[in-house]
Structure 1
Amino acid sequence: MSTTSAGSASATSASATWWGHSTISIVDSGVTLLTDPLLTGRLAHLRRMAGPIPRLTGAPDAVLLSHLHADHFHVASVRAVPGEPLLVMPRGARSFAVKALGRSVAGRCVELAPGEETTISGVRVLAVPAAHDGARGPWSRERALAIGFVVEGSCRTWFAGDTGLYDEMADLGPLDLALIPVGGWGPTLKAHGHLDPEAGAEALRRVKSTWAVPVHYGTLWPIGLGRVRPYMFSEPGNQFAEHAARVSPDTRVRVLTHGETLALEPPA
């Protein structure tokens, strides 16, 4: 396995490119999946503080949407994704998607609950649990499950979405790649179904993955708070790697920069 710049891993069987926050392009067996697209420089009171706004050059085969929170199901960004990909989302989210994106997307929506799956050009996408509130927000009546995904092609990749620790995480492994959230967009998120670097390393220990990439940090921060606890913005990835080295020493952790790709060879 190796790392390359974005777009140069087409010769390998699987790759993951981190675009910031929870937006990741997963390519496996010729199938491209885009997770929780956030293709903007600003979201409400949050501003993109690192990395360029992602510019997607091709249409993915599917968009994986983990839950309804606006930084994960960002309507304008989903609308801006090229092509007409499938929209794989938690059970109960289709009604919101149709209201927000228009009735034309109804036929492209695939709802999954934990334990349910769909297949996209031979690549299996399995919905798995997430310990996180799935409501759109306190101002909205829209509710759906929060989920993660395990993608099975030539490799097994876990995209956790947003989650806290839960007992059944051990059932997800063994994995080839774990994409684990280790921070957030503010200094007070840990108590709300999120992982910090230490808890993220514990999640990694449970799922027994060969490789891990920390995500969901170092991208968005509240406007006006750029000098407030800056270490909580920039350091979670490296802190996760340090904790992982102690509790999951057999895992290789790659801390990616925005737009960087981890290219994976299939397991022997």
Structure 2
Amino acid sequence: MSTTSVTWWGHSTVWLSDSGTTLLTDPVLTDRVAHLRRQAGSAPELPGVPDAVLLSHLHADHFHVASLRRLGGAPRLIVPRGAAGFVGRCLGEEALSRTVELAPGDETSVGAVRVRAVPAAHDGSRGPWSRERAVAIGFVVEGAARTWFAGDTGLFDRMSDLAPLDLALIPVGGWGPTLGAEHHLDAEAGAEALRRAKAAWAVPVHYGTLWPIGMARVRPHMFHDPGTEFARFAQRSAPDSVVRVLGHGETLTIGPTA
């Protein structure tokens, strides 16, 4: 029977293997992103070149151009609708030729799995200084398991439409000492997202990795604690789900629940 495995490399970077197909989410493969520095773990040494890279939105800590340049090979780039032009300008025509844009509801095949774009409640721009705009999305990967990679999101009304899932990769924190509740999930809201999505397994991501340079001592609980707090809240909000809090570079392997 086929299994699905996920390895967390910090922040929102996950190596997902399902049915012989490998996917990499929002890769950050360096020790620094702009004013942010990796404060835990180390820049990952990936096991190879993935079949595809899933990019949830244009923010630099998710759509990190320097990390994409380091990947090598020729993985397919699956990006939000509106982001292909940015790929071409930053990575060149060859990268653009292997880019697939998806809007919520759109699907594409990668090897033995289907990748479907789903909504995310998050700002899709590159940043306040940029004219680059694209919709923010999450992804549901359907193979041996149904896996939801939420990207970065707040709670949204149709989150329950994702259910049922085998595995949910849920953002539960951020990269600094403040967190905007409207467009992000903290540990408690992440547990509510898990309740709505009805995933058998869940892994918290998007915390405990990047922090502003010079601010390591500012609200350190917001850096270290979101994963374990998410597990604690989930025991109450989603008692039928199993939460696995991974360390950097640690892998969870599951079999299909059906």
TM-score by length of 2: 0.98
Q: State the partner residue of 2:14.
A: 24
Shift in Å at residue 112 of structure 1? 0.2
Whole-angstrom CA distance in 2 between matches of 1:41 and 1:192:
28
Q: State the partner residue of 1:85.
A: 75
Structure 1 position 64 matched with structure 2 position 37 = no
Amino acid at match of 1:143: R
Shift in Å at residue 266 of structure 1? 2.0
Alignment match of 1:96 (pick from 74, 82, 86): 86
User: Does the 8 Å CA contact 2:200/2:257 hold for their aligned counterparts?
Assistant: no
Q: State the partner residue of 1:53.
A: 43
| Post-superposition CA distance 1:21-59 (Å, at most 9, x none) | 000001000000000000010111111000011111311
User: Does the 8 Å CA contact 1:128/1:148 hold for their aligned counterparts?
Assistant: yes
User: Does the 8 Å CA contact 2:20/2:112 hold for their aligned counterparts?
Assistant: no
Amino acid at match of 1:26: L
Q: What SS class does the counterpart of residue 9 from structure 2 fall into?
A: strand
Whole-angstrom CA distance in 2 between matches of 1:116 and 1:37:
22
User: Does the 8 Å CA contact 2:2/2:144 hold for their aligned counterparts?
Assistant: no
Could you tell me which runs of 5 or more consecutive residues in structure 1 were left unpaired when the two chains were aligned: 1-10
Whole-angstrom CA distance in 1 between matches of 2:19 and 2:11:
25
Q: State the partner residue of 2:28.
A: 38
Whole-angstrom CA distance in 2 between matches of 1:200 and 1:13:
25
257-266 or 186-195, which moves further after superposition?
186-195
Indicate the percent of aligned positions where both proteins have the same amino acid.
Answer: 69
**Pairwise CA RMSD of aligned residues?**
1.0
Q: What SS class does the counterpart of residue 239 from structure 2 fall into?
A: coil
Q: What SS class does the counterpart of residue 227 from structure 2 fall into?
A: helix
Q: What SS class does the counterpart of residue 20 from structure 1 fall into?
A: coil
Q: CA separation of 1:175/1:67 partners in 2, compared to 1, >3 Å: closer, same or farther?
A: same
Alignment match of 2:220 (pick from 218, 227, 230): 230
| Post-superposition CA distance 1:202-245 (Å, at most 9, x none) | 00000000000000000001111111110110000000000000
- Structure 1 ranges of 4+ moved more than 4 A: none
User: Does the 8 Å CA contact 2:107/2:115 hold for their aligned counterparts?
Assistant: yes
User: Does the 8 Å CA contact 2:141/2:148 hold for their aligned counterparts?
Assistant: yes
Q: State the partner residue of 1:3.
A: none
Shift in Å at residue 190 of structure 1? 2.6
Structure 1 position 176 matched with structure 2 position 190 = no
Whole-angstrom CA distance in 2 between matches of 1:98 and 1:183:
31
Q: State the partner residue of 2:190.
A: 200
Q: What SS class does the counterpart of residue 15 from structure 2 fall into?
A: strand
User: Does the 8 Å CA contact 1:131/1:193 hold for their aligned counterparts?
Assistant: yes
Whole-angstrom CA distance in 2 between matches of 1:113 and 1:12:
29
Whole-angstrom CA distance in 2 between matches of 1:75 and 1:14:
28
Amino acid at match of 1:182: V
